[in-house]
A and B are shown apart, each in its own frame.
Chain A
Amino acid sequence: MNYSMNDQQHILKQNEQVATKEMVIEIRDLRKSFGDNHVLNGFSMTLYKGENLVVMGKSGSGKSVMIKCLVGLMQPDSGFLSVMGKEIKTLDRKTLDALRSDIGFLFQGSALYDSMTVRENLEFPMRRHKEKLGNIEDTTPLVLEALENVGLAHTMDLMPSELSGGMKRRVALARTLILKPKIILYDEPTSGLDPITAKEIIELMRSIQKMYGTSSLIITHDVDCARVISERMVLLVDGINYAEGSYAELSKSTDPKVEAFFKK
């Protein structure tokens, strides 16, 4: 890693600052291979409470693999993964499901259930987490609240096929919010959207963070998205956390591999 002296000093200073904050996600030395393809080669990072952390990397660099390992959708080959103080590898199914109710996951393609209406899509996560929501009988107010927060209250009875790409992403975000998660993982939240809709989604992510006080881990290769939303950034190169810092710091870096991300 080719950090300049200034970069190193800043990272040390930043590390001292964040040491006092509460850690909600910790990844240490994460490794994952698919056959001979070593995707993650010892990736490490931490997410602090209330923080917006952007992980940037090229397509196929293992960003999505990393967050799928975080929620137990994939098993890493080795490494330490902890979410809100619980080590993912050691959790049984029931505990993992309970932990998942505190983690919202916005999928790259929205992943709305085709055969269900918008309302049913939002009600689906509530089935297994009724205790968390206080064993409510009528789910309508919760569904309506989540949809209002993304500006789509009128779509409640529509099917996903009747929605545009941006609307699908908003509904998926509403579905993520329905369980009032403490952490939201965004997998390429703006991919496949036109610049105006992408900007709207970014604004929505910011307002949601203010409204719900969530910590956000955003996986993207969209530099504009990273610039607007990130408080801190991690660059994933060759399967490791190659560089860390704020957008302003990293965009000024003279390291060719870091520069490559910010070239227009």
Chain B
Amino acid sequence: MSRSLHKAHRTTPCTNYRPLIGIFTACSVLLFSMIIPSIAAAADQLTVYSGRAERLIKPALDEFTAKTGIQIALLSSGTTELVNRMKAEGNRSPADVFITNDAGSLELARTAGLFRPLSMREIERAIPPQFRATDNSWIGLSGRFWIITYNTKMVKPDQITSLLDLADPIWKGKLAIPNAGSEYLQAGVSVIRASIGDDRTKTLLEGLRDNAGAQVYQKSSQIVEAVAKGQVALGIVNHYYVYRHLATQPTSPIAVVMPDQQEGGMGAIMNVAGIGVLKHTPRMEQAKLLVEFLVAQAGQKIFADLDKEYPLHPEVQADPALVERKSFRAAMVPLAKLAELRAPTLRLIEQVGMR
């Protein structure tokens, strides 16, 4: 029997799964049709990877498109996730421009060789040198400060003057902090380490960890909400989240302390959101136009008015609701140093066991 069977088989090619092969082909066509458009579309538009929340950056990009006609594909995600991704994608990366909210990450991307230095008079005229990379491969766009926000019904303004006060056990269960994975927390801790040393920073972080307990948030907007509702009394966030909240809900019982302004204090912790142009981009001209637009007065005004950030262009005014920029001082840690400070900072955060 088996001989005759074999004979029968030799004449038929082995396609036992023909119906399945049909499905398989259909699926692969579908798969490729999904991959190809992203490549094809890239020919005439600028792809921006953004680590900033979409609603904070999209208005500025829309304005740019309206002005220049250059379309933008905006892809928003986590900052570190995007840096990892661009490193992995290398020269194949669809990204032309990277925008994010942490100078440390920008500097890390620079040292990883992802950016192309820009030499443009427009940049040098608009943005002071301390807010850009030494070789202009990334350029700061807007400034933000760590502030303490508090619920005015639960806290008196004179109870808190410094971030270090937040480690006091009287705030147990009353404090909200960002999660350990957020770049702005990491950058802030780097600045604190550089200002007061590792030992005191560790004590501070342990205090924050114990006081916050489970009140560790993924998003700054949630911290502001929690403070406004009275779920917690105090929170650490970037200043503009509070002012954006107040702009929509002016009667909300929250206020701001610009911390560490006392004699000998370390000063407020500053960071910038910035932009870098990817080294391999074939759309250098369009990318430069975007940078030019964002550093110029029109672009800076969007960050000031809509996002409530501090514009870096010296001639653009911040929103009048904000604490006057000249009335407080910032910690004396150069932004570019945030990159090298980061690895030991992460170790410290992990050691303390912050969430």
A is bound by B:
no
**B residues apposed to A, CB below 8 Å:** none
Give residues in A with beta carbon < 8 Å to B: none
